């Protein structure tokens, strides 16, 4: 899989497509083709296919259209493999500083991420809802009580303060979890309308699970959207590392109060 990522990133046009999705996520094929006027529609499709095969973008069907979303999780996995736990705080800080200087804030109403995990559906599902697992990869947060369909939930931080709260809209173990999301660790984000998170687990082969996370309903929550965009790749990569190796990722610096 990592070889596919390197191959996909080696092409300048494909890197440009990812840059375009970073600026405006969730574009259709028609919109992307308009951004590359020297390429044919078929040419853009070929590049998108390579990026999707490498896991660097995901697609969501909306009516007759298919929208393409940047998925940075494979890049994060590569970085975590070769950057030691001692160097990670410094490299993360430097990359974050450069990004802050070079880029305007990105606003999107939907984030779509996915990763493949060598495990069983039941094990991955348990890692999503079991407090003993989540506290190791989800910024030390945990469900205060086991999630129940149709009931409110609270995810708390180590000191007992509120991390995230919402309502469990769907609970279908070990395949699907849908819940609303409202931040509790920041007053400005807490004042925004609740958004929604959908976890979907599917078997992708013998001993292989495809985990897909969609965080949407962010139309009126720009602060939340910007905040979670940086958190989800770390969370999903941390979950994958914990399930596959038994070891969590080193803490991200600076460690945020929540996602």
Q: Which domains does the chain have, with CATH numbers?
A: 2-70 (1.10.10.10), 110-245 (3.30.530.20)
Query: In this structure, are residues 181 and 196 in contact, taking their beta carbons and an 8 Å threshold?
Result: yes
* pLDDT (tens digit per residue) in 100-147: 444 454 557 899 999 999 999 999 999 999 999 999 999 999 999 999
* pLDDT (tens digit per residue) in 209-227: 999 999 999 999 999 998 8
In this prediction, residue 93 carries a pLDDT of: 45
The alpha carbon of 226 is separated from its chain's Cα centroid by a whole number of angstroms, namely 12
213 — phi, psi (to 5°)?
Answer: -125, 125
Q: Respond yes or no on whether the N-terminal peptide bond of residue 210 is cis (omega within 30° of 0).
A: no
In this prediction, residue 141 carries a pLDDT of: 96
Alpha-carbon separation of residue 54 from 1, 15, 108, 244 (angstroms):
7, 13, 23, 20
Query: In this structure, are residues 60 and 24 in contact, taking their beta carbons and an 8 Å threshold?
Result: no
In this prediction, residue 172 carries a pLDDT of: 98
> Beta-carbon neighbour count of residue 165 at 10 Å?
19
For residue 91, what are its two tokens? 């490299």
* pTM of the entire predicted model: 0.71
Model confidence at 184: pLDDT above 60:
yes
In this prediction, residue 82 carries a pLDDT of: 59
| CA separation for the pair 25, 1 (Å, rounded) | 23
User: What would the mean pLDDT of 13-18 be, rounded to a whole number?
Assistant: 92
Half-sphere exposure of 250 (CA within 13 A, CB side): 15
Question: In 3-state terms, the chain is what percent helix, strand and coil (to 5)?
Answer: 40, 25, 30
The 8-class DSSP code of residue 53 comes to: H
* Nearest-5° Cα angle at 142, 243 to 110: 80
């Amino acid at each position: 899989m990592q070889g596919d990522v390197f191959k996909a990133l080696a092409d300048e046009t494909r890197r440009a497509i990812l840059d375009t999705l970073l600026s405006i996520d969730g574009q259709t094929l028609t919109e992307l083709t308009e951004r590359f006027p020297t390429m044919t529609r078929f040419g853009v499709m070929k590049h998108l296919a390579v990026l999707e095969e490498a896991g660097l973008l995901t697609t969501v069907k909306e009516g007759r259209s298919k929208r393409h979303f940047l998925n940075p999780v494979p890049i994060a996995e590569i970085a975590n493999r070769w950057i030691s736990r001692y160097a990670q705080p410094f490299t993360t800080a430097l990359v974050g500083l450069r990004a802050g200087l070079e880029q305007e804030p990105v606003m999107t109403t939907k984030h779509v991420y996915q990763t493949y995990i060598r495990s069983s559906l039941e094990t991955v599902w348990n890692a999503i809802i079991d407090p003993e697992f989540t506290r190791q990869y989800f910024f030390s947060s945990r469900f205060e009580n086991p999630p129940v369909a149709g009931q409110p939930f609270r995810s708390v931080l180590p000191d007992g303060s509120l991390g995230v709260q919402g309502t469990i809209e769907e609970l279908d173990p070990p395949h699907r979890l849908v819940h609303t999301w409202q931040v509790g660790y920041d007053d400005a984000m807490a004042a925004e309308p609740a958004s929604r998170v959908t976890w979907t687990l599917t078997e992708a082969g013998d001993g292989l699970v495809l985990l897909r996370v969609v965080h949407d309903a962010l139309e009126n929550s720009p602060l939340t959207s910007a905040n979670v965009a940086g958190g989800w790749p770390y969370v999903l990569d941390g979950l994958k590392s914990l399930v596959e190796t038994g070891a969590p990722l080193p803490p991200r610096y600076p460690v945020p109060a929540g996602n």
